[in-house]
Amino acid sequence: MLFLQLFSALIFYSQVQGVTPYSLQNCMVHEQWSKMIKVLCYHQNLPRVPSHLPWNVNNLDLSENQIASLRQSDFSKLSLLQVLNVSQNQIHLIEEGTFTHTSSLKILNLTSNQLRVLSSSMFDGLGNLTVLLLRENNIDRIEASAFAHLMKLKVIDLSSNKLHSLNALDVVFKVKSLEELHIRENNITNFTTKDIVNVPMWLRELDASHNPVSFIDVATDALYRLLSLDLSFSGTHNHITWIIQDPCFLKGLKRLYLGGIFMTPLDIGCGPKTELLFARGDPPK
Ligand SMILES: *[C@@H]1O[C@H](CO)[C@@H](O)[C@H](O)[C@H]1NC(C)=O
Ligand SMILES: *[C@@H]1O[C@H](CO)[C@@H](O)[C@H](O)[C@H]1NC(C)=O
Ligand SMILES: *[C@@H]1O[C@H](CO)[C@@H](O)[C@H](O)[C@H]1NC(C)=O
Ligand SMILES: *[C@@H]1O[C@H](CO)[C@@H](O)[C@H](O)[C@H]1NC(C)=O
Ligand SMILES: *[C@@H]1O[C@H](CO)[C@@H](O)[C@H](O)[C@H]1NC(C)=O
């Protein structure tokens, strides 16, 4: 009898450990070791960020809702928030100051929203952010100091937007801590390193594939530390003119992806051999 009571008590205990006794309308609250609070509110048709979120939430998933804007007050009490997923909403506006009190945030997922301009103060306060995902928006402009205070940012994904030149990405290249940049599927027609003035010291990976690039001009050594460059499926008719003024301008390159484009292999790199990868497309004849 005692054994049975103990047994059911154990079951009860293991249940409360997974999910806390309190709940939030439309959301599930998971608590692990009473420290990691995860709040899941995805796919609930929410028109806005719920108020009364637990102050100590670390991980918040608001994806797949109908949220149209992020407001100053939405996250102002969530100073322990580390991961925020607001992907697959209708966000076209992020108010200035929205993130000023979420300085612990490390991952911000804004994939599949309606952002058009990244404004100067939009991301203020995100001094610990390492990953910023902005894929599948309508971004065609990034204001000069949009990323100015993101001192720890390592990964930016701007794929599937409307950016039209490397020049317009000047502000992205100014992020000193940047290691990985994805600008796949935009509207970039000229890829010339002359448009890249500042290059982050640690930038290792650049994915510029699936852009209507017809002209690649490696005219400076701006990208000489890059390890991986993806230019596959460039060009409108898959024809591409490549000018590389000095093979040493890409001397750090280990992998160059050229799948799906018609081009003869070039002499690139002047150190250890660069691997040319034609995966996902045919090698040029
Ligand atoms: C939202 O982000 C979190 C953390 O990165 C992840 O665990 C979750 O699967 C994401 N949700 C969706 C729908 O992708
Ligand atoms: C970001 O959101 C997209 C779309 O919901 C999802 O596919 C992806 O896994 C998410 N990534 C992270 C790191 O949460
Ligand atoms: C980074 O996060 C830590 C811990 O949450 C916090 O104390 C610190 O102020 C944050 N740094 C910045 C630059 O925001
Ligand atoms: C791409 O840019 C060209 C001009 O360079 C413009 O005419 C065209 O409308 C743009 N396409 C998209 C999908 O934004
Ligand atoms: C692309 O480069 C060509 C040749 O240098 C130039 O005529 C054209 O104006 C450039 N287009 C853009 C959008 O920068």
Ligand 4 atom showing the smallest separation from residue 162 Cα:
14
Q: Tell me the ligand closest to 194's alpha carbon.
A: 5
Does the Cβ of 133 fall within 6 Å of ligand 2?
yes
Tell how far the Cα of 96 is from the centroid of ligand 5, in angstroms. 35
| pLDDT number for residue 247 | 82
- Exposed e or buried b per residue across 74-113, where buried means at least 16 C-beta atoms within 10 angstroms of its C-beta: bbebbebbbbbbbbbbebeebeeebbebbebbeebbbbbb
Does the Cβ of 111 fall within 6 Å of ligand 2?
yes
Q: Tell me the ligand closest to 131's alpha carbon.
A: 2
Does the Cβ of 59 fall within 6 Å of ligand 2?
no
| pLDDT number for residue 244 | 85
Tell how far the Cα of 183 is from the centroid of ligand 5, in angstroms. 19
Closest CA to 79 of 97, 108, 99, 95: 99
DSSP, res 273: P
Report the C-alpha gap between 157 and 163 in whole angstroms. 12
Report the C-alpha gap between 89 and 74 in whole angstroms. 15
Closest CA to 105 of 172, 176, 153, 138: 153
Protein residue closest via CA to atom 2 of ligand 1: 85
Report the C-alpha gap between 67 and 115 in whole angstroms. 12
Report the C-alpha gap between 188 and 272 in whole angstroms. 30
| pLDDT number for residue 167 | 86
Q: How long is the chain?
A: 285
Tell how far the Cα of 187 is from the centroid of ligand 4, in angstroms. 6
Q: Tell me the ligand closest to 133's alpha carbon.
A: 2
Q: In this structure, how many other beta carbons lie within 10 angstroms of the beta carbon of residue 153?
A: 25
pLDDT along the chain (285 residues), means of 10: 39 40 77 85 95 93 98 96 98 96 97 97 96 98 94 98 92 96 95 89 95 89 92 79 85 86 66 59 42
Ligand 5 atom showing the smallest separation from residue 167 Cα:
14
Does the Cβ of 160 fall within 6 Å of ligand 2?
no
| Tens-digit pLDDT profile for residues 223-273 | 989 999 999 888 877 667 888 888 888 888 889 888 877 666 566 767 666
Token pair belonging to 66: 């109908």
Tell how far the Cα of 264 is from the centroid of ligand 5, in angstroms. 23
| pLDDT number for residue 15 | 40
| pLDDT number for residue 6 | 38
| pLDDT number for residue 235 | 80
Report the C-alpha gap between 240 and 157 in whole angstroms. 25
| Tens-digit pLDDT profile for residues 128-141 | 999 999 999 999 99
- What are φ and ψ of residue 218, in 5° steps? -95, 90
Report the C-alpha gap between 52 and 72 in whole angstroms. 15
- Domains of the chain: residue spans and CATH: 22-153 (3.80.10.10), 191-285 (no CATH)
- 52 exposed, middle or buried (CB, 10 Å; 0-12, 13-18, 19+)? exposed
Residue recorded with tokens 């937007």 = 161
Closest CA to 70 of 54, 84, 58: 84
Helix (H, G, I), strand (E, B) or coil at 29: strand
Tell how far the Cα of 87 is from the centroid of ligand 4, in angstroms. 26
Closest CA to 162 of 139, 195, 136, 135: 139
Q: Determine the residue of 187, 195, 214 to mutate for testing ligand 4's pocket, defined as the one with the most ligand atoms within 8 A of the Cβ atom.
A: 187
- Using an 8 Å Cβ cutoff, are 249 and 269 in contact? no
Does the model's pTM come out above 0.75? yes
| pLDDT number for residue 21 | 43
Alpha helices of the chain — where are they, by DSSP H? 2-18, 170-173
Ligand 1 atom showing the smallest separation from residue 83 Cα:
4
